[in-house]
Structure 1
Amino acid sequence: VFHSAHTTFHAPTELSGPGGMYGEIIRSNPSWQNKYERYDTVLIKKDANGDGMQSMLVSHVMAFLSFTHNDICYPCALVEWFLLEGDAPNKVASMWVVKLEIEGGKRTIGLVHVDCIVRAIHLLILIGCIYRVLCQQICRLSFSFHYYLEYTLFTMKWFSEFLCL
């Protein structure tokens, strides 16, 4: 079991330059800096021929692991799945809404090859007048609320294609 993986991908941005490659570390650490857990969120390519978010899956990386079968090493990620809400971004915020995939009262998990991971992304807690129940939850939070709890407490999140780590 590994707590992080390094990835390199094509991302023409200010950081990597036009047409450049960009690298980042994706973390899956139960004790980040000996304090809190940190499980990064990633995009996983589900359709090699598809375009846009409809060809992607959103997930948290719970662990990186590898196993050997017939003398071939398979580097994998154990992930917790999110589902897209709708076929397009929210019209008001121009962001996608995702929610944890839950079956039988439990979060769904899967094992994927690390080559399927496209890049890390950042999810925002879903708040606003559209989802009043979550607003009421946030109003009750104390100022000592730690960021690492947001993935545990809130099942719905905003996702912008422009908010990548």
Structure 2
Amino acid sequence: MKSRECRDCAFAVEDQQAQGFRGMSVVRLKMFFSFAHDGWFKKVGRSPDPETGMWIVEPQIQGNSHLTTIIHLDTLLRGAHLIPVYGTGHIPIGFHHFHSLDAFKSFHVNKYIDHHANEIAF
């Protein structure tokens, strides 16, 4: 199997006055040349999903591609773990995990991954 690039996600602080995830966004990191990211994930709704207790985000699209911008490294708080909102369809045989951020339309922000994420994404 070919080696694939790792495109991790992180919490980016947008509003230090807002509590928890309300003052943050999830970003998909593309590269660091001091600071950069590939793709903002916008919040779906104004509160966490009542069924799972997790926020839902979806990629921001500009035209036919993901929104890409440069942000300062100081705005990144820590890594974020996203779980796809799977829906009712089947995942194809041979599907590789490195396609996940491109294959799904929305994601749960996993606040249960560890203690720190639980404190951040309430």
Map of 2:92 onto structure 1: 141
CA distance in 1, matches of 2:78, 2:36: 13
Moved over 4 A (4+): none
Aligned residues: 114
Residues 37-48 of structure 1 aligned to structure 2 (within 5 Å): 37-48=5-16
CA distance in 2, matches of 1:113, 1:52: 20
Deviation at 1:81, TM superposition (A): 0.6
Map of 2:120 onto structure 1: none
Change (3 A) 1:140 1:124: closer
Q: TM-score normalized by structure 2?
A: 0.85
Higher alpha-carbon Rg? 1
SS at match of 2:39: strand
Post-superposition Cα deviations, 1:63-106, rounded to whole Å, max 9, x if no partner, equal 111xxxxxxxxx21233110000111100111111101012222
Unaligned residue ranges in structure 2 (runs of 5+): 118-122
Change (3 A) 1:79 1:140: closer
Unaligned residue ranges in structure 1 (runs of 5+): 1-33, 66-74, 128-133
CA distance in 2, matches of 1:83, 1:140: 24
Map of 1:64 onto structure 2: 32
SS at match of 2:74: helix
| Counterpart selection for 1:156 from 99, 106, 113 | 106
CA distance in 2, matches of 1:64, 1:122: 19
Residues 5-154 of structure 1 aligned to structure 2 (within 5 Å): 35-65=3-33, 75-127=34-86, 134-136=87-89, 139-142=90-93, 144-154=94-104
SS at match of 1:118: strand
Q: CA RMSD in A?
A: 1.7
The answer to which structure, 1 or 2, has the higher relative contact order (CA under 8 A, 6+ apart) is 2
Change (3 A) 1:56 1:113: same
Change (3 A) 1:37 1:90: same
The structure with the greater share of residues assigned to strand is 1
